[in-house]
Homo-oligomer: A and B are copies of this chain.
Amino acid sequence: MAKLLAAVLAVVLAALAAGTATGMLSAEIDDGMPLIHMLRPLLHSSGHLGRLGGVPCDSWRFAVETDTLRDWETVPARCEKYVGNYMLGGQYRSDSQAVVDEAVAYAEGLKLSGDGKEVWVFDVDETTLSNLPYYAEHGFGSEPYNSTAFGAYTKLANAPALPETQRLYKRLQELGIKPVILTGRREDKRESTAKNLADVGYTGYEKLLLKPQDARVTAVEFKSGERKKLVDAGYVIVGNIGDQWTDLLGEPEGDRTFKLPDPMYYVG
A residues at B contact (CB < 8 Å): 8, 11-12, 14-16, 19, 22, 25, 28-29, 32, 34-36, 38-42, 44-45, 47, 51-52, 54-56, 58-60, 62-63, 65-70, 81, 84-85, 88-91, 93-95, 97-99, 101-105, 130, 132-133, 136-137, 160-164, 167, 256-259, 261
Contact = CB atoms under 8 A, between A and B. Distances in A.
B69 A66 contact: no
Given A32-B136, A63-B102, A65-B66, 17 more contacts: A8-B16, A14-B15, A32-B137, A39-B132, A41-B163, A42-B97, A45-B164, A47-B104, A56-B91, A58-B95, A62-B65, A62-B95, A63-B99, A67-B257, A67-B259, A68-B98, A68-B99
A187 B91 CA distance: 43
Nearest to A11: B15
A42 B101 contact: no
Given A39-B130, A39-B160, A133-B35, A55 B91 contact: no
Nearest to A58: B91
A14 B19 CA distance: 11
With most chain B CB atoms within 10 A of its CB, the pick from A36, A66, A105, A164 is A66
Contacts of A105: 51
Instruction: Give 9 closest A-B pairs by Cβ, nearest first.
Output: A59-B98, A66-B259, A63-B98, A15-B15, A59-B94, A62-B95, A55-B98, A35-B133, A11-B15
